[in-house]
Chain A
Amino acid sequence: MGSATIQEVRAAIASGKATATAIAEEHYARIATEDGPSGKGINSFLALSRDRALEQAAKIDAMAAKGDALPPLAGVPVGIKDVLTMKGSPATAGSLILKGYMPPYDATAVTRMEAAGAVLLGKLNCDEFAMGSSNENSAYGPVHNPRALDRVPGGSSGGSAAAVAAGFAVASLGSDTGGSIRQPAAFCGVVGVLPTYGRVSRYGLIAFASSLDRVGPFATNVRDAATMLGVLAGQDAKDATSSDRPVGDYVGALAKPVKGLRIGVPAEYFGEGLDAEIRAAIERALDGLREAGCEVKTIALPHTKYAIPTYYVIATAEASANLSRFDGVRFGFRAGAGTQTLSEMYRETRDQGFGAEVKRRILLGTYVLSAGYYDAYYRKAQQVRTLLTRDFLAAFAEVDAIVAPITPTPPWKLGEKTADPLQMYLEDIYSVAASLAGICAMSVPCGETASGLPIGVQIMGRHFNEETMLRVGLAIETA
């Protein structure tokens, strides 16, 4: 398992103990032996960007040789979820419909990683168009959980979580629309951060649901996640939804003790359906926070049970609009070579190019937006979204951070839940409310089950107060 941290990699390069080139080669060697079917069959990488990575590593090595100051991610091997564009590498979004698409530009998150010295190893597997909670919806095969190979890594950023857990990358980028960073982080035993809506640019992110989609990091520990977030955060002229609020000093904030912080525990997140071992692990994390001087109190988020129905109306409605651009005209795959008309070509391309879950969500989203149903479903869900957000705004008037489970169960076995889409959606019960409300949230490892499966705990923070959330995360990690 990978144990190197960002700090260790940077220190080793700065002191001349290692080169960025050698570190990149080591990671590629581990991927070559373990990721494929002849190794552990984890299947986390969809494409490797070897030339680009080694060119960047040589640049870092030249800087180190000259004794130049090294940027914050100097020589750090990073993997990129395949919903972000990276020039020179294919972008599939886990879908057949984008097979062969070579995007002519870098996502802003990718540009920022590289400008900070990161060595980008390649593109990581995910659920098709980031739609899924198990990574079993990828057209390129499921990802296996490095901590238990017969189990799912979570989704949709399953490859991003697995690559970090397996030591294929020191950190990675993912995207989170309804839990797609936090849930796989918990399932694979790594740290995952959902930044506040607007904190990180989405330019170059293949859109699923634009009022919910966010880009964020995976890392092996909270400090590394804070370092990654510091590089990613900030306004971008190419994304009008990115915020002009000043970016915090996320790593610096970690030095402040958590003593005196008020921690809210929402009763609604500890009801029926929560696994007993996860409940116990979170109780232990809360005890640790009490010992560190936090005031832990029960709070109410009364509309929590409506988060899943609200989410699946809004996310699918937006997806049905966003995914209309995949029609065989501008990028990727086109079917129906013999078709006579444009509309036949559209339909054949989309029928062959999209998998079952994507079609299901497009249909649901088209239905809830169609004439006669718009007010009953879409407008109603938008109103409930207001109520869910008000719940959080009221809670954050009383507490500085909220601690809750992120998944109701530990990772399940591959194939166990694929037959029933509604059951799979219900797994998102603890993750989607934060997505709808636009607040920041993260998942931090907090122990494991008796059978050795990782358990994560969710920390939710106020809009644009990543600092406090990260401090609580560090306190749980080090307790």
Chain B
Amino acid sequence: MADVAGVTMDEVQRVAELANLDLTAEEVPRMQRDLNAILGHIAQLNELDTTGVPAMAQVGEMLGAAVESTGASLRADAKRPSLDRAAVMASAPESDSRFFKVPKVIER
């Protein structure tokens, strides 16, 4: 596992950027402290030798669900009615009732 003692302020800022979060000057050191405490606890996982252990994404795969039975539980790939477009667009902060409106995407 990576060096757990060492999430730096710069790394907190970089991760915040990746997550589209704008942290204030007061938030950065606090998040740095909390992340390091939590990552320190997570470092316990290093005690375990997991060589050859398969990764588990969710429980279905552990219950021996065969591919066929998994497939059988999926619905037919057919066209069906969905939500009313006008009702969905009404929830948007800004829309012309057909499209979502956002600030300029391409900077020049």
Contacts and interface: CB of A to CB of B under 8 A. Distances in A.
Contact of B54 (A243, A320, A340, A386): A386
Contact of B20 (A343, A389, A438): A343
A296 to B, nearest CB: 27
Contact of A362 (B21, B39, B72, B107): B21
B44 A372 contact: no
Contact of B104 (A341, A380, A383): A341
Contacts of A244: 69, 72-73
Contacts of B102: 329, 342, 345
Interface string A402-439: 00000000000000000011100100000000000110
Given A329-B100, A330-B91, A351-B23, A198 B15 contact: no
A359 to B, nearest CB: 6
B56 A330 contact: no
Interface string A321-346: 00010011111111010011111111
Given A313-B42, A377-B1, A422 B34 contact: yes
Given A197-B58, A362-B19, A422 B92 contact: no
Contact of A384 (B15, B50, B73): B50
Nearest to A320: B19
A25 B60 CA distance: 44
Interface in A344-369: 344-348, 350-351, 354, 356, 359-360, 362-364, 366-367
Contacts of B50: 380, 383-384, 387
Interface of B: 1-2, 7, 11-12, 15-16, 18-24, 27, 31, 34-35, 37-39, 41-46, 48, 50, 53-60, 62-63, 69, 72-75, 83-84, 87-88, 90-94, 100, 102-105, 107
Interface of A: 101-105, 197-198, 211, 235, 237, 240-244, 303, 305-306, 308-310, 312-313, 320, 324, 327-334, 336, 339-348, 350-351, 354, 356, 359-360, 362-364, 366-367, 370, 372-373, 376-377, 379-387, 389-390, 393, 420-422, 425, 437-438, 463
30 contacts: A197-B58, A197-B59, A240-B75, A241-B58, A241-B60, A243-B73, A244-B69, A244-B73, A306-B45, A309-B41, A309-B45, A310-B45, A320-B19, A327-B20, A332-B93, A334-B93, A342-B103, A342-B105, A362-B21, A363-B35, A366-B15, A376-B1, A377-B1, A383-B54, A386-B54, A389-B59, A389-B62, A393-B62, A425-B38, A438-B59
